[in-house]
A and B are shown apart, each in its own frame.
Chain A
Amino acid sequence: MISVENTKEVFKETLSKSENPTQVILSGGKQQLARIGKNTVYQNMLNKEYTLKVQVADYKKVGNASTNRFYGEDVEKAIHNATFIARHQAQDPDWEGFLNVDDEIVDDKFYCKDTMDSCFEEKLEELNEIFIDAKQKNVEIAGAFSHGDSISAIGNQNGMFRYHVNTDCDFTFSIMTPNGGTGWSEFHSHRLADINPKELYRVSLEKALLSENPIEIDGGEYTVILEPPAVQSLLFFLGYAGFGGLGVQEKRSFFSEKFGEKVFGDNISISDNFAFDQSFGAPFDYDGIRKSSLNIMDKGVFNTPVFDRVTARKMNKVDTGHALPYPSRSGPLPLNLCLSGGESSVDEMVKSTKKGILVTRFFYDNLIDPGQLTLTGMTRDGTFLIEDGKLVSGIKNMRYNESLPRIFNSIIALSKQCWSLRGFGRLSVPAIKVEGFSFSS
């Protein structure tokens, strides 16, 4: 980890060398990652990579240059390059200038020192028993087990200093059986001690064995129960293609003309909240603006997309603190979306289903029509047929073609429990039950 003091020192040194208004962004981290394949740890690696980005402004002309060094001639070269770019390029009329505040935010809410001090090899040894059991059961494990830290810090000559650091431990298992069964599980925490490989193995194995000898069923509309990783895919695209302020401002977004309109079901409330448990979110954006929880969708009514300073000004709205590093082609985006849970559970959803499909997760989802928020993708690693309230068989993977507005208007149950999963940043999602979900094959 690069400490607050060292970061300040790097910033002070860098900023002192630039004659123009300048901002610096430090990002990166250290990660140790073991990849598992065929019941072995087949790659075991340590990566350390940081980037120092220098942004130099010459009135409304801005140049960016980055290096993976913090001192010496590489930093001087980055300042020189950024200055050269700024001088030789055209003006950006939308440039808002570097944030003119003289304060600091230091955030280490999701940093766990014990995690970084832990012996990763000891944790790996826990896998031995799992591998032996997998071999005895004639199943094959693939996966990844990582821990590390991640930093993002911003500083400028006006005295603004922002620093966020978190630790991040991820464990994911896929299990394949000789008879076509597959199962998957994933867990992350900023505390290595929270990771329980045996529990993840149990979950994956249960799914893999239950999905063996999958049957093929026809496409069509089904009642589906989407477990949180599948919901994560949907919420990710909703945020990426729908809730960005630039898309709304440019009228490319489905929500462009829908401020205050009821667009989704009464049971849908969505916020962006950097502070939810295991969000790993920073309390500031890449302009240095302080964040707070933002109510994007309230009981199906669309309140607001996320804004940065430029899009907020152009739409006469308040900046919500969602700028990405300048220059950002996508504009501001929500990094910590939360879909509020309901009162149900996956078990209850299954029990109440006469005929339907349970989906563990989707794969390779993509937008077909960004304006209408239509998506396609495949199910993966545990897709099950439900009959009379029970999982009766694994089914072969299916392709869906659906529109997000249709899905979010057809949700009839949400689980009380929510899970934190990877998105752009991290998302918090419940399991959901959807009526009339359309599979094309």
Chain B
Amino acid sequence: MKILLKKAIDLALSMGADYADIRYSKFDSESISVKNGQVQGVDYHSDYGVGIRVLCGGAWGFASNPDLDDSVRMETVVKRAVDLAKASNKVSGNNIELAKKESVEDEWASKFEVDPFTVPLEEKLELLMKCCEEMSKVSGVAITNGGLDFIREDRLYMDTEGSEISQKFVQSGGGISCMSLLGGEVQQRSYPSAHRGNHNMAGYEFIKEMDFLQEAPRLAKEVVELHKAILCPTEKMDIILGGSQLVLQVHESCGHAVELDRVLGYEANFAGTSFLTLDKWKNYTYGSKKVNLVQDGTTTRAIGSAKYDDEGVACTKSDLVKDGEFVGYLKSRDSAKFENGVSNGACRAQGWYNVPIVRMTNVHLLPGNETLDELITSTKRGIFMCENRSWSIDDKRWNFQFGSELGWMIENGKITGMVKNPTYTGITPEFWGNCEGVASKDEWKVWGTPNCGKGQPMQVIRVGHGVSYAKFKDVKVGVSK
């Protein structure tokens, strides 16, 4: 394969390209769904192919194909990429410059203990069915769900600057949920998070660690009790966000906001732009001093991790928000004109058939010093919100509104009862500016968001977020009609 890929990029140079990179990817996935104790579906998928990206006179061209296994097809695909770049150049007067990077020959593989693809299907189904059975034992539970997802991907990257990188990835994830219906009211509880659970760069051991079966009865009990809970009040109060809800808050209001291609206007038509404009770089207070956000493509077990991104740039760890001050963007080689002028390894593509663009790798809210207990006991009146139910944010990542599956009312430092349909809304810098505390590293863990969408055509990639718990004061809650 290496010989074939090398031929392709050499061919691109001979056709007039100034630079070319090529990615071969072989992707396998297994997805299992169980509903109400019955198998809803088991799906294996496998694909492989190549994508070649060329730079001609300062403009990009990209073409992909399932294979390049004969010289005629290879020439056709490479020529298409070069022709597209030349066509772009004619009409646009592009002047793309690539930031420097180190050329490397390297191999890397993610770590896991148990290859999830070797675990018998019966064992996986049995786990999910038992969870459904446990949840359905509670009277009032109408629908039970469980899902498991596994992926493995082998990637080979080469470019005309001499890089040759082989990487292998194995990821596992899953979750369970249940619903209760009463008089038109629909309630749901999920574990460990909504939207098909949690995902890590790990093997089947991660599924066992999550111990779905242990949590199933609690979910079932909570979902039924939610019908009797008080409706989320409409007022300004403190809120504490639990891990899986905080993940989405970080993802939407920070992670997307620091993507440099958005900031520069390249994503304005679909994904949007960002309020963190260039003039704000190192000159803007994003949050309180408790707020420290980093991008870290090297985090163990996080699903956005790799040794190199899809431009062959080494993944890094760097500050995005330091002590509340906005200091950094996520960057690709063609957008990296800031900070030290190099990419921080955040250019990624979904599969071999898409062009790499600026993406989150893993974006973390670093732990603080408090404990969850301290965050609660210091709250006079507030709601502790767990597991996401709805999410919405504007195209500048400025005005957001989220809802959770469940809230716990806090009065005078104590949890006093359950709250249903909790929602909250805010303006990003005001909200993070009111961050009063972040729980410590003892309660910090890595979460996986496997369905982050961006780009045209839409590319869905897997992103990691490390968070603990965080408390915010004076937040508008109960905003839904």
Contacts and interface: CB of A to CB of B under 8 A. Distances in A.
Interface of A: 31-51, 61-69, 74, 77-78, 81-82, 84-85, 88-94, 120-121, 124-125, 127-128, 131, 140, 142-144, 146, 172-174, 176, 184, 250-252, 254, 326-329, 363-372, 374, 376-378, 380, 397, 399, 401-403, 406, 438, 440-441
Given A40-B94, A47-B64, A131-B91, A376 B265 contact: no
Contact of A174 (B90, B181, B268, B394): B268
B214 interface: no
A66 B46 contact: yes
B38 A64 contact: no
Interface stretch (B14-22, B79-87, B317-325): B79-87
Nearest to A438: B481
A380 B41 contact: no
Contacts of A143: 269
A397 B399 CA distance: 9
B390 A42 contact: no
Cβ-closest 7 pairs across A and B: A327-B41, A37-B266, A371-B186, A142-B268, A40-B92, A45-B62, A68-B47
Given A364-B394, A374-B480, A374-B481, A31 B457 contact: yes
A369 B184 CA distance: 10
B42 A78 contact: no
Contacts of A65: 43-46
Given A33-B456, A127-B91, A365 B41 contact: no
Contact of A66 (B39, B43, B80, B269): B43
B59 A378 contact: no
Contacts of B389: 368
Interface residues of B, number: 79
A90 B126 CA distance: 9
B94 A327 contact: no
Contacts of A124: 87-88, 91
A247 B94 CA distance: 50
A243 to B, nearest CB: 16
B41 A38 contact: no
8 contacts: A33-B456, A44-B60, A45-B61, A45-B354, A65-B45, A368-B423, A438-B481, A440-B481
A31 B457 CA distance: 9
Given A65-B44, A366-B390, A401 B87 contact: no
A252 B181 contact: yes
A299 to B, nearest CB: 24
A64 B64 contact: no
B186 A46 contact: no
Contact of A401 (B90, B357, B391, B479): B479
Contact of A85 (B44, B62, B181): B44
B353 interface: yes
A367 B272 CA distance: 20
Given A41-B91, A49-B64, A172-B269, A376 B394 contact: no
